[in-house]
Amino acid sequence: MSHSELFRNVVETVFSTWTALRLAVEHGMGGQQGKEIASQFVNQVTDLFCKNDIGAEEVADFLAEFMDKEFQTVCEDDSPDEVATVLWQFYQHCKAGRHDLVTLELSKFPKCEMWLCKPVHPIRSDEEAMDTVDTITHERSSDTAAEEHDPEWTEVRSRRRKERALM
């Protein structure tokens, strides 16, 4: 297996564990073709690394911009930075021919459904999506002051912020 093929598997595995991406696809933020867009995202990121000498910061910017543009999702949890750093480290190992190390490190990833390879079941209708948004908005308004909700955007919040707020 070439290093680019191995790295594509890495990107697919890392993206399968990226909660923000999965939620954006499952909730139809990329439209009916969300899963296909996510698959193209895997290919674009793989090509970005394989065809360029690129740093983790540039990759993080690309990931954040793609999520915003294609999935109308702004990741305020710094996950694009984390994902970019992990991908950059794996790519360095792939490029150096350390395929055994890459395989070993991938085996340490949490076991999750490889949803990029299987059909994703998005919310079925706009009405169901609005019901979900209404439920979330109602739950938030009881905990905090009411905020305006823009159904065009999905906000991904860090769990760390909640933990800090509770302290």
Tens-digit pLDDT profile for residues 15-71: 999 999 999 999 999 888 999 999 999 999 999 999 999 999 999 999 999 999 999
Going by C-beta distance under 8 Å and a sequence separation of 6 or more, which residues neighbour residue 6?
A: 94, 99, 102
- Domain hosting 26: range is 3-166
Which residue shows structure tokens 């899963």?
35
The answer on pLDDT for 8 being more than 60 is yes
The answer on pLDDT for 164 being more than 70 is no
pLDDT bin (cut points 50, 70, 90) of residue 2 is confident
Tens-digit pLDDT profile for residues 111-130: 766 666 544 444 444 444 44
What's 144's DSSP letter? S
Mean pLDDT of the chain: 79
The model's pTM is: 0.68
Domain count within the chain: 1
Question: In this structure, are residues 15 and 42 in contact, taking their beta carbons and an 8 Å threshold?
Answer: yes
**C-alpha angle 71-77-80 in degrees, rounded to nearest 5:** 60
- When mean pLDDT is compared across 28-32, 37-41, 151-155, 163-167, the lowest value belongs to 163-167
pLDDT reported for residue 97? 94
Which residue shows structure tokens 């399968």?
16
pLDDT reported for residue 22? 92
The answer on pLDDT for 147 being more than 50 is no
User: Measured in whole angstroms, how far is the alpha carbon of residue 71 from the centre of its chain?
Assistant: 10
Cα-Cα-Cα-Cα dihedral sign, residues 43, 44, 46, 51 = positive
Cα-Cα-Cα-Cα dihedral sign, residues 142, 148, 151, 153 = negative
Q: Which amino acid is at 157?
A: R
Question: In this structure, are residues 13 and 109 in contact, taking their beta carbons and an 8 Å threshold?
Answer: yes
